[in-house]
Amino acid sequence: MWNNIFEAIDAQYENMVHTRRYLHQHPEVSFEETETAAFIQQTYDRLGIPYEKNVGGNGVLATLKGGKPGKKIALRADFDALPIHEENDVEYKSKVDGVMHACGHDGHTAALLGLAEAILPFQEDLPGTIVFLHQHAEEYAPGGAKPIIESGALEDVDAVFGTHLWVNTPTGVIQTTKGPFMAGADRFHITVKGKGGHGAIPHQTKDAIVIASQVVSSLQQIVSRRVNPLDTAVLTVGTFESGDAFNVIADSAFLTGTVRTFRPEVQELIIEEMEKVIKGACTGNDADYEFDYFKGYTPVVNHEKEASLILQDAPKADASLTTEEVEPVMAGEDFAYYLENKPGAFYFTGAQIPEHYYPHHHPKFDFDEKALPHAAKTLIQAYRSYQEQT
């Protein structure tokens, strides 16, 4: 049966591409994905697979109960887009100004829907129950995973698996690791409040740009000089906004950025040290400040047994696939919350276009659509492996 399922997934390739390109042309940002959710629901209506809608927000959970006894396993795909204006010149370019699928979530959805259609004819021979978990709002904290869990919709699920199309990895390569895999992802805002004035009379001002520049420079020393070198952390200032004219000293500056960590102790240390740095720079220059820190997604920590199933068994789904156990990455993912509640694992499905490589969240991001069946096959192989494990 399983080989027939893998062949049926291959037969869904053109359908997956069509679905992916339709979704790519009609992106919706986090928490606003009503039309995307409706499209997913219409697909399950056509297939006759029952589903719950509006789960935890815009989430859609479809359930296919097999004809044989077994475990209930969720397979997750996210479906939100990003507030980025697309710069690709392709026939399936986004039709929504300032919004695009710049992370592959359109592909995740297409792969899971294609899997659902491919496996439906094998329902009676299928052990256990598949939950096709379509999650909204992965890109922006607090995200969609947490409210889906809080809804109770996954309480009777035995395990959960998910994958991310990954353009940093060649097509045909599956990557994951046992234990910590992706970092916790936080966000911060800093406002420096000085005193503006004429650019020719600096001694009568409190230059917010100069003060904020000191803050930026000193923040970089937290990871290099305060965090244990054996721990992993990233502190990045992403935006610096200040000033309106070339000859005016700004009275305020606004900084935003992100912190990535794997351990809560390191996270708390960085928050404490940031407060010291900001307060010190502002106090020394007789300025005021506001510091807002938003704790985001927790780290993605794979369960060892389930991650091992991915590494060992993914090639059973397709002989062309290879697996690699890799070092953790500092990107964040709210799949972390599923793994805090259920056994499971998250992994990368290689989808690189060598001649058109742009990273995730870039306006020219795109991925190799040949990876779509790889994602679907490895998800159902993870389901199979978990069913068969003793």
Active-site amino acid positions: 80, 138
Q: Strand locations in 66-218, DSSP E?
A: 68-78, 127-135, 159-170, 173-176, 179-182, 184-193, 197-198
103 is an annotated ligand-binding site residue: yes
Measured distance CA(289)–CA(55) in Å, rounded: 40
Q: How far is CA 325 from the centre of its chain?
A: 19
Token pair 């599956």 is found at: 174
Positive or negative torsion for Cα 135, 136, 140, 145: negative
Query: How far are the Cα atoms of 76, 117, 290 from residue 311, in angstroms, in the given order?
Result: 18, 26, 46
Measured distance CA(148)–CA(133) in Å, rounded: 10
Strand 184-193 versus strand 288-297 pairing type: antiparallel
Give 192-219 as a DSSP string: EE-B-EETT-GGGSB-HHHHHHHHHHHH
For residues 28 and 36, is the Cβ–Cβ distance under 8 A?
A: yes
b/e burial code for range 322-347 (CB count within 10 A of at least 16 → b): ebeeeebbbbbbbbbbbbeebbbbbb
189 is an annotated ligand-binding site residue: no
26 is an annotated ligand-binding site residue: no
- As beta bridge partners, residue 188 has 257, 293
For residues 273 and 299, is the Cβ–Cβ distance under 8 A?
A: no
Token pair 């792969």 is found at: 111
Three-class HEC string of 273-285: HHHHHHHHHHHHC
For residues 339 and 303, is the Cβ–Cβ distance under 8 A?
A: yes
Strand 127-135 versus strand 68-78 pairing type: parallel
Q: Which residues are annotated as a binding site for Mn(2+)?
A: 103, 105, 139, 164, 361
Q: Which residues are annotated as a binding site?
A: 103, 105, 139, 164, 361
